[in-house]
RNA sequence: UGACCCAUGGUGUAACGGUAGCACACCGGAUUUUGGUUCCGUUUGUCAAGGUUCGAAUCCUUGUGGGUCAACCA
């Protein structure tokens, strides 16, 4: 009975495949997956899906996951990226069973290549890239054999050894698998296995002059590690035939490849090329600019690893093209931070309030909850006095109906403090409001309110003399359109106000000793995270995400 | 003028021949000293046409639409 309940449980197609394999006793029920990044850039949220998928799937079946760096191209890869990637994977909460490098297998790969040459399954080709492209045909037209296809194994062997010995210039020749130039799958038309590069490799130094191509390294690395399920994105599906062919020719451990659809996130770009362009052209401040979809940027912006993994899980796994709404990511981080973040008061655009009937020089320390979702979080004390700051947005001289905040003659509750009424305004020479003249109701103090007054609005506030200056960075979507990649030039749709800096925001005293990475909810404003640029003299906060704002919707109508 | 993959509300994803469900978004309501949170509810969907079947989102056929494939990148 529990059996049928299990089989009815909803699982994605990959989990279903693995479950069948495990139940059939494939590889003794052992599951080993891998996450195989190329160390030529930083991880982004798309990688987080792959990481969560590979580690999650394996863990579900008592298996493990290797982190393997696909470092077959010495021209593009660097140790700096290796370190950053390891850091990001661990930060997300996953511990690789082993940390490995495709370059660890260069020797074995070379031996296997020699074996294929000996059996006439690979040959050295001196054709130019143009000649090779011409021989290769097109997707709708079969290719034709080139002039080097029937060189003898002995000659090919000698040539290949010379390639590795450094006897040829880069680009002079390549080693190709000998499969079928007329195959309907382009990848089977004698794909290149090795090219010559006289470059310094970040791990193997100057030992090699030939470097394996992806197709001749990836599947073999999977096989060497005895990866049971090699999970990759859809664009590699046509490579699967080659993946299987090499493994079969070599008679080695039969890893199997499965493909899923990567996801697109609305209002952002995810391709490494475009991300790099944003950085190098200065559209953002760097790879960890909080507007970027990189893991390092999300971390700096204040996303928790839990929220990212939750998101990566919620979006699901299929083979369909898809566009995930940014609002889902926002939901995930709000849900997490609502439970965990301490509430603090901050005023982004200060407006001075003078409480006329509050004695000059008097001050009170009022209690306010640190987190209404978590009573264990306790309380803090907020200083109250005659001069306060409130948010400019929380006052309107001529308010529309349903505006619950302050206006001339109107009343509002200062959260955790008193109810005040606005009696008048001070103006500068241009007529701009510079301060509000208010009276407070002493008997309306929070927790002991006997005033009988019931204002509809509640706003946050700060005591002027106790408040401190802070810089607050407000982020919005980086692009103005859902799918920037569909534009002829995605840089044309950059959002001009994706970053708005408030250099003179004010914060409450309890925020004085904040450190980089601290997360708060600034009451009524959103979730914020202390930036590494922060100093004791000048704290800097990043807005992670706003609170849901029902009023903004109403006001827009 | 090829091969391969895909098609379920606005978005994403379930339903393995038997009640089309869940989440986000949206809209409405209740509660609220955060216009937050929480709770309740409404609306909205099987690409099309045939076929198989007592019964089809599911199987078959043909269309239609979308995606991928021709780097000495991964």
pLDDT of residue A6: 41
Q: How many Cα atoms occupy the beta-carbon half-sphere of A553 within 13 Å? A: 4
Query: In the 359-418 stretch of chain A, whose C-beta falls under 7 Å of nucleic acid strand B?
Result: 371-373, 402-405, 413, 415-416
Q: What is the per-residue pLDDT for A2? A: 33
A241 φ, ψ (degrees, to nearest 5):
-60, -40
Crossing angle of helices A326-340 and A305-314, rounded to 10°: 140
- A529 CA to B33 C1' in angstroms comes to 25
Counting as low any pLDDT under 50, the low residues of chain A are: 1-7
A387, A463 in Cβ contact below 8 A?
A: yes
**In the prediction, which pLDDT does A159 show?**
98
Determine the protein residue whose CA lies at the shortest distance from the C1' of B68: A235
Paired residues of A419 in beta bridges: A413
Q: Which residues contact A331 (CB under 8 A, 6 or more apart)?
A: none
What is the torsion angle, in degrees rounded to the nearest 10, for the CA atoms of residue A186, residue A187, residue A190 and residue A196?
130
- Judge contact between A385 and A409, C-beta under 8 A: no
Three-state DSSP string of A304-345 = CHHHHHHHHHHCCCCCCCCEECHHHHHHHHHHHHHHHCEEEC
Task: Give catalytic residues of A, as residue numbers.
Answer: 38, 262, 272
Place of tokens 């609002």: A327
The model's pLDDT over A376-427, given as tens digits with 9 standing for 90+, comes to 999 999 999 999 999 999 999 999 989 999 999 999 999 999 999 999 999 9
Exposure on the CB side of residue A375, measured as CA atoms within 13 A: 0
**Distance from residue A390 (CA) to nucleotide B45 (C1'), in Å?**
47
- pTM listed for this prediction: 0.96
Residue-level pLDDT at A8: 54
Record the tokens describing residue A71, joined without a space: 């470092």
Q: How far is CA A53 from CA A33, A231, A528, in A?
A: 10, 9, 29
Nearest nucleotide, CA A318 to C1': B13
Does nucleic acid strand B have an atom less than 7 angstroms from the CB of A318? yes
Q: State, as a whole number of angstroms, the distance between the CA of A292 and the C1' of B46.
A: 37
For the question of an ipTM over 0.85, the answer is yes
Pair of tokens at residue A220: 């073999």
């Amino acid at each position: 009975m529990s059996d049928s309940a299990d089989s009815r449980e909803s699982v994605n197609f990959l989990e279903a495949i693995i479950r069948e394999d495990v139940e059939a006793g494939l590889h003794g029920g052992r599951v080993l997956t891998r996450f195989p990044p190329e160390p030529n850039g930083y991880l982004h949220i798309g990688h987080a899906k792959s990481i969560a998928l590979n580690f999650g799937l394996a863990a579900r079946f008592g298996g493990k996951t290797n982190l393997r760096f696909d470092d077959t191209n010495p021209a593009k890869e660097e140790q700096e990226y290796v370190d950053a990637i390891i850091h990001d994977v661990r930060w997300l909460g996953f511990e690789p069973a082993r940390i490995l490098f495709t370059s660890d297998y260069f020797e074995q790969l070379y031996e296997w290549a020699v074996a294929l040459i000996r059996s006439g399954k690979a040959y050295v080709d001196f054709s130019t890239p143009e000649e090779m492209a011409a021989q290769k045909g097109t997707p709708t037209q079969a290719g034709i054999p080139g002039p080097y296809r029937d060189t003898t194994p002995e000659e090919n062997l000698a040539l290949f050894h010379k390639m590795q010995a450094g006897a040829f210039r880069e680009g002079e020749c390549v080693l190709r698998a000998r499969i079928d130039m007329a195959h309907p799958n382009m990848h089977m038309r004698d794909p290149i296995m090795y090219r010559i590069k006289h470059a310094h490799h970040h791990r193997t130094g100057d030992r090699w002059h030939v470097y394996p191509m992806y197709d001749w390294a990836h599947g073999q690395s999977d096989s060497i590690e005895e990866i049971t399920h090699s999970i990759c994105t859809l664009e590699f599906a046509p490579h699967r035939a080659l993946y299987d062919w090499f493994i079969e020719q070599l008679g080695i451990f039969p890893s199997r490849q499965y493909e899923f659809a990567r996801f697109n996130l609305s209002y952002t770009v995810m391709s490494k090329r475009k991300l790099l362009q944003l950085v190098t052209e200065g559209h953002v401040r760097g790879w960890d600019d909080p507007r970027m979809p990189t893991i390092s940027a999300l971390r700096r912006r204040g996303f928790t690893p839990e929220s990212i993994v939750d998101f990566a899980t919620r979006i699901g796994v299929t083979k369909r093209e898809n566009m995930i709404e940014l609002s889902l990511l926002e939901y995930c981080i709000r849900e997490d931070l609502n439970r965990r973040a301490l509430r603090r008061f901050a005023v982004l655009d200060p407006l001075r309030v003078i409480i006329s009937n509050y004695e000059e020089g008097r001050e009170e320390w009022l209690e306010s909850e640190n987190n209404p979702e978590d009573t264990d979080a306790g309380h803090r004390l907020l200083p109250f006095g005659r001069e306060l700051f409130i948010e400019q947005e929380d006052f309107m001289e001529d308010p529309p109906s349903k505006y619950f905040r302050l206006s001339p003659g109107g009343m509002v509750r200062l959260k955790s403090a008193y109810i005040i009424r606005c009696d008048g305004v001070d103006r500068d020479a241009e007529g701009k409001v510079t301060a509000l003249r208010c009276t407070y109701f002493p008997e309306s103090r929070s927790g002991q309110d006997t005033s009988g007054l019931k204002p509809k609005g509640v706003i946050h506030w700060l005591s002027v003399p106790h408040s401190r200056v802070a810089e607050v960075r407000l982020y919005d979507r980086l692009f103005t359109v859902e799918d920037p990649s569909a534009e002829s030039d995605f840089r044309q749709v950059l959002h001009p106000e994706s970053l708005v800096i408030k250099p003179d925001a004010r914060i409450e005293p309890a925020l004085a000793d904040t450190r980089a990475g601290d997360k708060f909810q600034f009451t009524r404003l959103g979730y914020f995270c202390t930036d590494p640029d922060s100093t004791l003299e000048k704290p800097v906060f990043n807005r992670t995400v706003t609170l849901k704002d029902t009023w903004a919707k109403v006001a827009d109508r």
